[in-house]
Amino acid sequence: MTDPTVSAVIAVFAGFVLAGILAVPYIAASYRRRGELGLWRVLLVFGFLVYAMSLWTYTLLPIPQTTAAWCAEHATSHLQLRPFQFVADIRREQSGAGLRAFLRNPAVQQAVFNVALFVPLGMFVRHLFRRGFAVTVALGFAVSLFIECTQLTGVWFLFDCPYRLADVDDLLTNTLGAAVGFGLAPLLRLLPGNEPSAPPGTPRPVTARRRLLGMAVDFVSVVLLGTTIGIVTTLVAGEPNTVVTALTSTLLPAVLLLFVIPVAGNGASFGQRIVLLRPAGPDGGKPALWRMIVRFLAGSGGYFTLLTLASAVNSGFEPLANLLFFVSGILAIRPLGHKGLSGLVAGLEIVDLREIESPDREPVVDVRGGPTPPLT
């Protein structure tokens, strides 16, 4: 594993995994702090996750076979404590005159790389986390120190010996890179969506993207909860039969997140609560129980119920589940109000959780063009 592209691929893959784990908490926090999600900000946060994984891969990989024989053969000093040793290294490695020869100097390239590696950290800390210069530089120093200590100890003694050099010059150049990144952070303000379109407590239009996001959160949450229940059940009671697995890993989490939570709360499913949406009955209030039962069966609850039947009884229910999934998604996009199939069947509207339930309130203005009439 010596090709730098391998480290890049690992970093991107790890970034996707980390993004999947943190997606629901991030969406919930974003809607409550900013009142909305914002596509560009999501991409920026994802870039931060990939960058964090890049620090890990580029500083620890490649990992050699650190056997006793390898350690004996490479038993040299793994600690460089002389500040600005890279200046002497540049002089020693210089093989010609002129700017081109200077830029080709391996020691110059290494120093520039160490500075550039921490520039994104400074930019992200200032722009995403709103921290000042002192905190940004201190964090850059702390992260670099942690990396150098990790290299010096052989990944905290997980390996038989250190396989990377811990260098005080890396600490200095990395910290400088964080300071440079702090100065360049205002460039990120050029990206759209840095500031929310309205105060967090202001209702937003119910858009197709927002509806689908809530549905996606519901789907992912049911799958994750079902997987967790399945693992715990297997560890405690052993491998269950097919029927028990279908009931505990599919139907049970669907009922909890898509029916119990709405009935106990304001009628919103777990995913709808995350994106600050709720269903409203004809009077604008919490839907009646029978409407929530119909909504559950005609929406995501019906999808997971059919999947349960497909696993426990007959696989012929699976095409029906897929058809319901497809129709629900289409009807959440196209009709006015984005009610979805469940909302249409149960006679419900989908409204912003922050809507003031008043018959004479002003309509919410859809920033994409034109006023959106009141939905309750």
**Can you give the three-state secondary structure of 47-102, one letter per residue?**
HHHHHHHHHHHHHHCCCCCCCHHHHHHCCCCCEECCCCHHHHHHHHHCCCCCHHHH
Write down the pLDDT at residue 359: 40
Residue 289 C-beta-side C-alpha neighbours within 13 Å = 3
Q: Check pLDDT > 90 for residue 244.
A: no
CA distance 190 to 109: 29
Q: Which DSSP symbol is given to 190?
A: G
Residue 76 C-beta-side C-alpha neighbours within 13 Å = 7
Query: Taking the chain, what is the end-to-end CA distance rounded to the nearest angstrom?
Result: 59
- pTM here? 0.77
Write down the pLDDT at residue 156: 85
The pLDDT mean for the chain works out to 86
The share of the chain scoring above pLDDT 90, in percent, equals: 49
Cα–Cα distances in angstroms (integers) from residue 92 to residues 89, 106, 108, in the given order: 5, 10, 11
Write down the pLDDT at residue 2: 46
* Among 264, 267, 262, 235, CA closest to 248: 235
CA distance 196 to 40: 11
Q: Check pLDDT > 80 for residue 366.
A: no
Residues 56, 225: contact at Cβ < 8 Å? no
Strands 364-365 and 371-372: antiparallel
